[in-house]
Amino acid sequence: MALNRNRRRHIEVATGALSDIMFFLLLFFLIISTLANPNVIKVPLPESNTTLKTNKSHLTLSVQYIDEKYIYCFDKDLENQIIDNDEALMSQLISRTKALKDDIVVVRFDKHAQAQKLVDLFEIAKAANVKLRLGTVVKN
């Protein structure tokens, strides 16, 4: 009676498609992570027909009009740097531009805010020796 014990079972896991699936998942998460930025203030900007682009990254000041109150925010610092009065804004403008050694600040001003507040902002910047550039959305 001959028992055949030479047949051993070999367990195999097919991993041929695993690298393809991992590549697509990695690509998907990289694309999604660049699109989802939780530190962004959505400000409806004024529109313009022409544009002037700078080759340098300047300090950004976002101005929002919420509940009849103006909120200033530097460089997407939502939690730490929400400023709601003019004196604090002037001191922040002076300290941040001196730290960056750049006197140009790009202002992203809310489309629904009053124009007088923009004029007041330019007067504050002039007193702080800072040059403001108004950020707009270019119409197609």
d(CA 135, CA 63): 11
Q: Around Cβ 119, how many Cβ atoms within 10 Å?
A: 10
Query: Looking at the domain assignment, is residue 106 inside a domain?
Result: yes
- If residue 109 lies in a helix (H) or strand (E), which one and from where to where? strand 104-109
Is pLDDT above 60 for 136?
Answer: yes
- Over residues 64-96, the pLDDT tens digits come to 877 777 778 877 555 556 676 778 888 888 888
Q: What pLDDT does 41 receive?
A: 55
Q: Facing residues of 72 across strands?
A: 63, 83
- Over residues 88-122, the pLDDT tens digits come to 888 888 888 888 888 888 888 887 788 888 888 88
Query: Looking at the domain assignment, is residue 13 inside a domain?
Result: no
Q: What would the 3-class secondary structure string for 47-83 be?
A: EECCCCCCCCCCEEEEEEEECCEEEEEECCCCCCCEE
Query: Residue 87: which domain range?
Result: 47-138
Domain count, the chain: 1
- CA distances (Å), origin 8, targets 4, 5, 11, 15, 83: 10, 7, 10, 22, 74
Is residue 116 within 8 Å of 86, Cβ to Cβ?
A: no
Query: Looking at the domain assignment, is residue 21 inside a domain?
Result: no
pTM: 0.56
d(CA 33, CA 14): 30
CATH number, domain with residue 72: 3.30.420.270
- Over residues 7-46, the pLDDT tens digits come to 677 788 888 888 899 999 999 988 888 776 666 556 667 7
